[in-house]
Chains A and B, each alone.
Chain A
């Protein structure tokens, strides 16, 4: 039980530790959190708010990195470490008053401050109501009292930093072993979110999410030719614990990128023109994200993002009708996939998450939605896509994990390659740019191999492809089977004003696209 001194404003770090601590196997939220939340809900009711929710959240981030660079003049390899630890704790209160939203947030987690900021949120809502024409209508939701934790075996924050540094030292050392590799960089990042949500509709939900990320990079320079090229290894970023880190095989992959960066440096420039593409999951995930993930967000289609991220070519009249891809293209939204970066049990509206189709047999069938949008397209419930990146951010519609179904059981990667006469195989993320309605895009990659006469050949460089979303997905003629299916993802997807980030996964198998416009970049 929480002690009285916390309500009087004692150490909020100690408070956070007590609030989010749990008895092993506990399935209900910490009563201390529920008691704090009740302060906001009572105050909002007193001030005539018709709805209120409060999120009390704590975030923990740890970054460990090593860069190996040559010393100026001597060429001796110097080691530059980076070790940092970041915590953030606070609360945000959201209310509806006179049909309009209001929000206020503070890092001072005391009952007095919760009372003050609830009143601020009501003040904001009242002022907005004077220029709000459409009253907020929330789709119904059940009241839940639950506690959920993303699956992990070894909490990364309990693993000694020395172990992480040693792993990175070994990997960056491997990558830099060849003197022709100019520098190497390795980082391990860990993130956790302790989230608590309570609403005036009776929900009380505590969740913990733990995520692990790694990046290795090698750069090679040919001064005589004025060229600098890099090669990265980015293991799938997932909601997992430290148990996944040994499976990343950082040392073995460091050896591989050491060789591949030198091949990249010597690789001839691609000959531009229409070519077939075989896109690997480490690359295709971001193409799915940009072209399908963002275009099927309902808030974009409704114009809510018109001033920043943009709208969507998938306007409301296209729902259920627009052909996006060939019949083999099936894409779904899912915040329940184990280890997905956007996977939670409940979203930031308190809606239980689910899996739902977005593209079925090539046709656009469903938007991503949240509670205050569902009625605008005649839907009865939210699809659970509400998220705020901090206690201090306003929750709004963010992307769930959006993934491509695998192809037929008999289709292998070799089948995809053997069916290409003149094409490119692309791995990894490069430069990604797409217009504000998600029609026209230009995507690069991290590494490119020529495919000639059905065989994967040597590396080429300076590759990007340009297409339109619908042309591109309608050129997809083959997808490899489930055994190749992998989730990659991004933890810094930007959207909204003031801008927020989101972490999201996209699963897919390698896929083939016919006659896409390949350009030669600088």
Chain B
């Protein structure tokens, strides 16, 4: 993969092909090795190399973009010319913002050499451990163990250049009874592949699967819930773009006030809720830049229940005289020192949710979502998990979830079923709306 120096040289070469006043180049290259398995055997697996070069040319507020995956000089020159042709034809962007100049990017520890080189000798034994653990209990495992190594760089004619690299290892497994009558899931995501142990992962999924036998059918309705971090992450991540200052001012988001204005400064949530972004958090460092190269920065969205800040893209920041804010990658919902067991113990009657699935937005304004529980739903009575429960569909918004939070556990790096991941604790919340029963296992 391209080193910093190689990426910089390549970027400079591409920019030298440009005839327009402004040109921006972003390069991405990745290498993936993965094993997918099901029914206690490997199904598909592979080793893939991919890359892309995105070139945007601008003149007179008119921009055209061309993307290719070829690093050959002639191809790059042609792509630059293509982006210029597209720009010349395009009408001016009336929300145009000038490109950024040179930026300073932080350094984060998102790279691990072992992970970047890991192939079958490292992957296969961990997959075998999962299959063996499941098979030893007469259960059936399916899952994916994927490791990725990626570099990306950005450069423009105003003198900016940035380079970053990252490794990511993700292993998730679903363990099911051979007759399909029960199911359990667990996952582990890390920068360093060495932290992931197949046997541990399988142990958690097997435990869920074995406990979820002969579930009781409960009536839909409002329940107190204890959500494990994966369930919290997939809901709370949906809040991200809801913090857009523009959507709020234009009356299109949950942060818009009836009659005009926004909820900025209002105490919408309980005191214990603090939601923020911290790109350099070692638990889950984020990309170094967003929004065309602006350095990612820390931001507190909700502080002790108060809406502390709104998100400004570069255009809206320019129109309002504010500083542009960073992106929403890897939100952090601050937790406490309490454990998941503590939350369960503090629950008189409620439902313990392992994860959600097929989450879709019902109303983009209120952020009402729908989805289903999956791979481990249990009844809690008097502080103890008493029995498994047939799965439910929910209709609920992360806004109401945060408003109804009563307790928080210890925050951790988590990638749920559908989102990009965040740092989230398990939570206890009241009045969570389950709208119908799902017979799916």
Contacts and interface: CB of A to CB of B under 8 A. Distances in A.
A304 interface: yes
B127 interface: yes
A310 B183 CA distance: 11
A23 interface: no
Interface in A242-301: none
B259 A81 contact: no
A303 B176 contact: yes
A80 B124 contact: no
Interface stretch (A216-224, A412-420, A481-489): A216-224
B440 A442 contact: no
A132 B217 CA distance: 38
Contact of B374 (A73, A223, A302, A436): A436
A311 B319 CA distance: 50
Nearest to A517: B436
B266 to A, nearest CB: 14
Nearest to A16: B70
Given A224-B259, A437-B440, A519-B395, A86 B67 contact: yes
Given A132-B42, A134-B41, A431-B370, A311 B66 contact: no
B89 A83 contact: yes
Contacts of B50: 90, 105, 107, 392
B142 A435 contact: no
A24 interface: no
A85 B86 contact: yes
A226 B72 contact: no
A517 B437 CA distance: 13
A160 B260 CA distance: 43
Nearest to B397: A522
Interface stretch (B29-37, B223-231, B292-300): B29-37
Interface string B230-267: 00000000000000000001111000111110000000
B408 interface: no
Contact of A124 (B46, B72, B140): B46
Contact of B358 (A79, A120, A305, A433): A433
Contacts of B360: 431-433
A161 interface: yes
B68 A13 contact: yes
Interface stretch (B5-13, B14-22, B361-369, B422-430): B361-369
Contact of A307 (B63, B93, B142, B252): B142
A396 interface: yes
A107 B86 contact: no
Contacts of A84: 64-67, 86
A103 B45 contact: yes
B176 A306 contact: yes
Nearest to A497: B144
A431 B395 CA distance: 12
Contacts of B256: 223, 226
B435 to A, nearest CB: 7
Contacts, number: 294
A521 interface: yes
Interface stretch (B74-82, B101-109, B331-339): B74-82
Contact of A306 (B121, B127, B142): B142
B128 interface: yes
Nearest to A14: B74
A100 B366 contact: no
A11 interface: yes
B357 interface: yes
Interface string A118-155: 00110110011011111000000000000000000000
B39 interface: yes
B90 interface: yes
Given A83-B90, A103-B44, A225-B258, A307 B127 contact: no
Contact of B393 (A10, A92, A310, A435): A435
A433 B370 contact: yes
Interface string A303-317: 111111011010100
Contacts of A308: 144
A123 B120 contact: yes
Nearest to A434: B358
Contacts of A10: 72
A451 interface: no
Contacts of B260: 223
Interface centre among A71, A100, A165, A498 (most CB of B within 10 A): A498
Contacts of B146: 497-498
Contacts of A435: 357-358, 372, 374, 391, 393, 438-440
B385 interface: no
B196 to A, nearest CB: 15
Contacts of B183: 306
Contacts of A123: 47, 119-120
Contact of A303 (B39, B42, B393, B439): B39
B180 interface: yes
Nearest to B96: A80
Contact of B49 (A86, A106, A307, A521): A106
A13 B438 contact: no
A63 to B, nearest CB: 9
A522 B398 CA distance: 13
A19 to B, nearest CB: 13
A228 B144 contact: no
B32 to A, nearest CB: 7
Contacts of A340: none
Contacts of B67: 84-88
A134 B143 CA distance: 17
Given A128-B120, A440-B436, 18 more contacts: A11-B72, A12-B70, A13-B72, A83-B89, A83-B90, A87-B70, A89-B70, A101-B44, A105-B48, A106-B49, A107-B70, A121-B46, A304-B43, A433-B358, A433-B359, A435-B357, A436-B440, A498-B32
When A and B form their complex, which 9 residue pairs have the shortest distance between CB atoms, in order from nearest?
A127-B120, A103-B46, A435-B440, A13-B75, A78-B94, A437-B440, A440-B438, A306-B142, A522-B368
26 contacts: A13-B78, A72-B319, A78-B94, A80-B95, A86-B67, A107-B70, A123-B120, A219-B252, A221-B251, A223-B258, A226-B251, A226-B259, A228-B252, A303-B142, A304-B38, A307-B174, A310-B357, A311-B180, A311-B441, A313-B439, A433-B358, A440-B437, A442-B436, A497-B144, A498-B146, A522-B362
Interface of A: 10-14, 66, 69, 71-73, 78-81, 83-90, 92, 100-108, 117, 120-121, 123-124, 127-128, 130-134, 160-162, 165, 169, 182, 219, 221-228, 302-308, 310-311, 313, 315, 392-394, 396, 431-440, 442, 444, 462, 464, 466, 468, 497-498, 517, 519, 521-522
